[in-house]
Structure formats: C-alpha cells, structure tokens
Amino acid sequence: MALCYWGLPGTMLDVWLYLYGLSLGTEHDRNIAVILGSVAAIHLCYLVWMLGWSLQKRQFVFAVYDIFPPSRTDSIRINKRLHRYARNVYRAVLSSIGVLSVDSPYFDLVLICREIVETALQTQQAYRMSVLLPRTRLNRCYVALLVINCWSTALIHSTFHKISTKRRFYVIVCDSVLDMVSSVGISTVILAIYAVDFDFELGEFPSYKWYEDVWLMHVLSEFHLVLVTSWSDLVMRLVFSLSMLGNMDNMKKLLCTTTTSAIPSEVRKLSVNRRRSSIVPASDPKVTDVKHAYRKNRLQILIESRVMQGFFGMWGAALLILHLYAESISSVPQCAMQVKPWGTSVPSCSLFVLDCHAVSMDGVSDEVSIQWSTFDRSTTSGLVIRHCPHFEVPVILTEFKRLKLLKFYNTTITEWNESAALSQTRHPSLVMLFLVRVNMTNGELPTGLQGSGFPKSLMDIEFCNTNLRVLPDDLDLKWPKSGTIYFEASNLSTVPDSLVRLSPYVTSLALNPIASIPESILMRTAGYLHVGGTLITGLPQTAKISPFFKLRVDRTNVSFFWDWVDPMVAHAGLVYNSLPTILATGSPYCSELQRIFEGSQSNFSAPWRQGVSMTLSDASPENWATLKKAVSCGAWTQTLYPVEFEDNYSKIATELD
C-alpha cells in the first residue's frame, strides 16, 4: 500500500479517488506512503531478522534472547550498562509494561477488556458492512471471523482453565490471527478482485469502468476497507500494526524457556550473592495486604468464571442469528445489487435499476412510486432510470438519504418539481449525476435540479446527448463550485456565463454548436477544458492558465496556438501523462503537423501573428520531439463521457439476445 500511495500523485486514479471521497487528497498521498512504509519496514526487519538468524543457527529463532544468552561474569561487568540499555530499549519498543505485560497477574483482566472493546468495534463494522457492502461472500467471511473471535475466547478459557500459560498463549495467537485476517486478509482479497481490471501500464483503471454501475458501487463501498479515507482511519491502522508487535513479543515470552543449566556457574554465583545481599527481614503481614490478596483472588475467580465464557458465547450466537435472518430476506426485482442489513424485515437494495421497458411502464409518478416502495430507500446508494418515455420524478426520491449515484439513460423527463428536488438535507451523500440521451421539457434544466439547497457533495455532473439549450443565469449560486461538469452533445450555442462562474476543475462542452469561447472559460477552468467538435475556428488571444492545464480542440478549425500555451508545452507529460496536453485530432493544425512529419510540408501555413506560440509554430526537425510530446493527433472518443460504452451496457434487454 505504501508503494501505491507513493505513485498515486499525478495520476487520473488519484483524481477519481478524491472526487468520490476515497482519499485525503493529493497533497497527503506521499505522507501516508511514508507512514505506512515505516510501519511495514519495522515488520519486514523483524521478519528478516528471524529468518536470518534461523538460517545461521539452523534452528527456529524467535526471540532476541535465543541469540544473546547471558554472558560470563567479565562480560557482564564490562557491558553491564550497554546490555541494560539495549534490553530497556527492546522492551520499550516490542513489549508491554506493567499491567499490560503477559507476566502481569492482571493480564487476563486486561485481555478480557480488550476483547470486549475490540469485539464491539468489530460488531459495529460488521453492521456497517451489512448496510453498505453488497458482496455477499465478503460479508459472510467477516461475520464468520467475528463469530469465531467470540467463541474462541470462551472456548480457550474453558479448555485451559487451569493452565494460565497455555491459556494466555492461545488467546494471543487466536487474537493475532483473527486480527490479521480481518484487516490484511480482507484487504488482500479486495485488491486481488480489482487487480483483474487494473491497467498496470497506465497505473489506473480504464476510464469506462467508472461508468459501469455495478463496478462503481462496489468501489465506493469496498475501497473504504482498503484505502485511508480519514486521519482516524490511519490512526487505527497504526494502532493495529504496532499492537501486532506487542502480541508477538508476548508470544515469544511464553514460548522461550530458559533454564538455569544454560547459565554459567559464575553467573549463578553472582546472582546468588546479589540475592543474599538484598535479603531483609520479613515484616508482619498487614490487614491491607490480606484485603488486597482477597480482592485479587475474587478478581481471578471472576475473570475465569463461566460468566465471561457465556457472555462471549452468547454474543457470537446473537451475531450469527442476526446475520442468518438478514440472509433470509427475499430479493427485489430490478435490484442489481442487494444488501442485507441486520435487524430489518424489509428488503434493501444498494443499486436499483428501474427499466421502464422491462416492466412495461411509461414512468408516471404513481407507477415509479410503487416500484420504489418495495424496498428500504435509506440503504440505496445507486439509482438508475432507463428507457422511460414519459418520466415524472416522484416525491419519494427525497427518501433516498444515502444516494451517491443518480443516472438517467434514454429517458424523457417530463416533470421534476421542487417537491422532489435534489437537496443537501435529503441527499447529503450524492456525488454523481448523469443524464445520457435524455430529453427535457423545452430544452431547459428541470426545476428539481435548480434548488437553492443543492447537494454540496455533488461534484460530478455529466450531461451527454441531451436537448439542453440554455442554463439558468443564477446556476452558480446553487450548484457547487470546482467540480466536474460536462454538457456534451447538447444544444448550447454559447458558453453560459453561469457555467464560467462555477469555476469547474473539468469542463466539457464537446459537440455543442458553439462558435467561439471566451477567455474567461480558460481562466476559470482549473484543470481540463474540452471544446472539441464545436464550431470554433480559433482560441482567445490571451489567457492566464496553469502550466499543467489540459486542452482539447479536436475536430475544430483551430490552425495555430497563442503563446499562452507555452507553459503547458514546457510541462507536458509531467502530470496525468495518460492525457495529452493538447489534443487536436482532426484540426487543420494536426493535418499540417502530420504532413510536416511525413516530409511533404516544411512549415505551418498559418500567417505569423503577434503573440503566436513560437514553440508550436516551429516546424524544424529539432523541434519535432517537443511537438510530439505536447500535441496529440491520435484517435480519441469525441466525448469524455463514454457514451458508446453506455449504449452497449444499458441497451434494452431484448437487444442483448
């Protein structure tokens, strides 16, 4: 994980993770990598030390005192302070002290308390997984581990009731194994599942995967178990990793057996003399000592009593019953991903796909409400509407409190009133809004998308192949700023001022009948601007942009570039290298550039102008490497939204046969 975080900055994967709330941001990626790498290095050094000494000694070496036995008298006198210092440092790092030590008479009490707290936290996590994670096998595995954790505590205390050493050892071993599997094991399984889809050459997932509804819902839920999504999450991971070292040290103490025969006679004599010199007359027992011993005996009886064994046994049984009952809940038609939360008798659905064609309905409000009333809306993360010729958004949409994705495909929205509007109070977790091949009344934005309390988390808004022709003038006062906004293949004839004032990080106006773009859209778009497929013949003469800016002018009549692109050219390929710095496929500039590379043309034909980019106007062979690095003329899809993939993925069911 440390290596993954170290290589994450500057990739599109980092952008996707941050956009969907799965990371702390690019500026923290390297810090997290250093922290995780340091902890991993400690474990690795510990493992290498054990393996190295085991090979050298030709026997299994587990503890430091298997390698460095007590030395002779002279050595002890010479290296006494160094030995004591090293021993103290070793114990301070790898062992617990005081009541936390395995040698402590209170170790069983501390262990019981830790098991109670740990099991409570694991139970809360298991419930959260039952609500959020639709992957049945993963939930079953986690619940099984939790039940085993409960029952193993009771079983070990019952089996080794009178043998404290074995009882403590097996409790520590069992606890360590279960913790390792529940954290590292599950994360490893999840990573193995997604490794099949990962493009290791580009260092990211294919972009179309983020538009595959089922895959995306799995990512939004399961990556919380793999990635660091908050500072508290990072702290808990560190606590677990360091506590594993403490458990290993306790196991070493219980496994290592040292006999007095292994100690030289000189050392034994020295030890005896020390004990003799420190003997003092015993004092008479006090009443407080008797009371203390009595309390300690009562405490020991309480810890080892059948009460604690029954407590953990019943806890595990209760968890198993809750899980089995949740598993018995019936499924919901058109539910693409079903979740099974504990303690509810109503079916739950993580991703619901309403296909009007499949259920023979038009999409009238009452019909939709009936469909959405068959499951618990509060557990739904994704809602997809497809193939509805007359869709009326019902008021019941406001009951989807945990909604993260809302997608319309091949649908005509005839009514979306304010009563069913998207809002921060009703949809606080909404992240994505997609409208693909959608028609709206009069080509205007529905009222339900213009509410004053629009969700602040909705940072990914994408329209593709719609009849949208105009945006409200006050849209920048309602929608969140600095997000990702696509209005592709629509009917916008000009760049809306309200869109400019939204200052998106990514803006796409591809395939709109726009004849010119203002300087402001370049200056207010922070990272990426796509105006390919529009009617523009040139770019603004002046603009102040980031040197890491990306620009698409493919399939336009752009024949030259101004010098404000020179900083982009100088930093080409440094960040997000999977994206071209300037994409000009199908433009006059790329046509001439191709002929220059082929040798059929020696210079660009555009007349010289004041302020033109000298770098991108230099056709000399010495500049070809720079031109190839900065400007791409390769084949790319016309829109950022993968509409071809969506057409194949969401087509009518009869078309799949």
Q: What is the pLDDT of residues 320-345, one digit of tens each?
A: 999 999 888 888 888 999 888 888 88
Q: Which two tokens stand for residue 172?
A: 């520590």
Q: What share of the chain is helix, strand, coil (3-state, %, to 5)?
A: 50, 10, 40
Output the CA–CA distances (angstroms, integers) from residue 375 to 350, 371, 381, in the order listed. 10, 9, 13
Share of the chain above pLDDT 90, in %: 46
What pLDDT score was predicted for residue 257?
43
What pLDDT score was predicted for residue 534?
97
Q: Which residues pair with 551 in a beta bridge?
A: 529, 582
What pLDDT score was predicted for residue 66?
52
Q: How far is Cα of residue 199 from the mean position of the Cα atoms in its chain?
A: 18
Of 160 and 209, the structure prediction assigns the larger pLDDT to: 209
For the stretch 566-615, pLDDT in tens is 999 999 988 887 889 999 999 999 999 999 999 999 899 988 889 999 99
Output the CA–CA distances (angstroms, integers) from residue 543 to 138, 521, 546, 566, 579, in the order listed. 51, 9, 10, 11, 21
What pLDDT score was predicted for residue 78?
43
Domain membership of residue 593 (yes or no) is no
What pLDDT score was predicted for residue 252?
63
- Helices assigned H by DSSP within 469-538: 497-501, 519-524
What phi and psi values does residue 383 have, to the nearest 5 degrees? -135, 120
Angle, CA of 514, 15 and 354, to the nearest 5°: 75
Report how many helices (DSSP H) and strands (DSSP E) the chain contains, helices first: 21, 13
For the stretch 476-486, pLDDT in tens is 999 999 999 99
Among 285-294, 513-522, 557-566, where is mean pLDDT lowest? Answer: 285-294
Among 29-33, 240-244, 497-501, where is mean pLDDT lowest? Answer: 240-244
Domain membership of residue 135 (yes or no) is yes
Domain membership of residue 195 (yes or no) is yes
Q: What's the maximum distance between 2 C-alpha atoms anywhere in the chain?
A: 110
- pLDDT, mean of residues 459-475: 96
Q: Confidence class of residue 243 from pLDDT cuts 50, 70 and 90? A: low
Crossing angle of the two packed helices 12-19 and 26-57, in degrees rounded to 10: 110
**The dihedral of CA 268, 271, 276, 280: what is its sign?**
negative
Q: Provide the CB-side half-sphere exposure for 178 (13 A, CA).
A: 23
Contacts of 300 (CB under 8 A, 6+ apart): 105, 108
Q: Which amino acid is at 449?
A: L
Q: Confidence class of residue 172 from pLDDT cuts 50, 70 and 90? A: confident
What pLDDT score was predicted for residue 212?
94
Contacts of 242 (CB under 8 A, 6+ apart): 39
**177/244 Cα distance (integer angstroms):** 10
Contact 264, 178 (CB under 8 A): no
Contact 485, 507 (CB under 8 A): yes
Q: Confidence class of residue 258 from pLDDT cuts 50, 70 and 90? A: very low
What pLDDT score was predicted for residue 515?
96
For the stretch 403-457, pLDDT in tens is 999 999 999 999 999 999 999 999 999 999 999 999 999 999 999 999 889 999 9
- pLDDT, mean of residues 17-41: 80
3-state secondary structure of 199: strand
**465/639 Cα distance (integer angstroms):** 10
What pLDDT score was predicted for residue 633?
96
What pLDDT score was predicted for residue 202?
75
Q: What is the DSSP letter of 182?
A: I
- Which run of H or E residues covers position 166? helix 164-180
Q: Confidence class of residue 9 from pLDDT cuts 50, 70 and 90? A: confident
- pLDDT, mean of residues 539-557: 94
What pLDDT score was predicted for residue 60?
62
Total domains in the fold of the chain? 1
Domain membership of residue 92 (yes or no) is no
**502/457 Cα distance (integer angstroms):** 14
Buried b or exposed e, range 94-119, using 16+ CB within 10 angstroms: bbbeeeebbeeebbbebbbeebeebb
What phi and psi values does residue 47 have, to the nearest 5 degrees? -70, -45
What pLDDT score was predicted for residue 154?
74
String of DSSP letters for 483-500: SEEEEESS---S--HHHH
What pLDDT score was predicted for residue 261?
39
Question: Where in the sequence is the domain holding 213, given as residue range(s)?
Answer: 99-257+293-328
Q: Which two tokens stand for residue 30?
A: 């390297």
**99/604 Cα distance (integer angstroms):** 81
- Helices assigned H by DSSP within 351-392: 365-372
**357/190 Cα distance (integer angstroms):** 35
Domain membership of residue 563 (yes or no) is no
**462/436 Cα distance (integer angstroms):** 8
Q: How far apart are the first and last CA of the chain?
A: 42
What pLDDT score was predicted for residue 270?
43
String of DSSP letters for 39-108: HHHHHHHHHHHHHHHHHHHTS---SGGGTS----HHHHHHSHHHHHHHHHHHHHHHS--GGGSTTSTTHH
Domain membership of residue 387 (yes or no) is no
For the stretch 190-241, pLDDT in tens is 888 888 888 888 778 888 999 999 999 998 888 877 888 777 777 777 776 6
Domain membership of residue 169 (yes or no) is yes
Residue whose pair of structure tokens reads 């050298």 in the numeric block: 56
Domain membership of residue 582 (yes or no) is no
**562/393 Cα distance (integer angstroms):** 47
For the stretch 269-328, pLDDT in tens is 444 444 444 444 445 444 444 444 444 455 555 555 567 778 888 888 999 999 999 888
**407/392 Cα distance (integer angstroms):** 14
Share of the chain above pLDDT 70, in %: 79
- pLDDT, mean of residues 348-359: 93
What phi and psi values does residue 560 have, to the nearest 5 degrees? -160, 170
- pLDDT, mean of residues 257-277: 43
Q: Which of 494, 546, 498 is nearest to 522 (CA)?
A: 546
Ranked by mean pLDDT, the top range of 157-166, 203-212, 497-506, 599-608 is 497-506
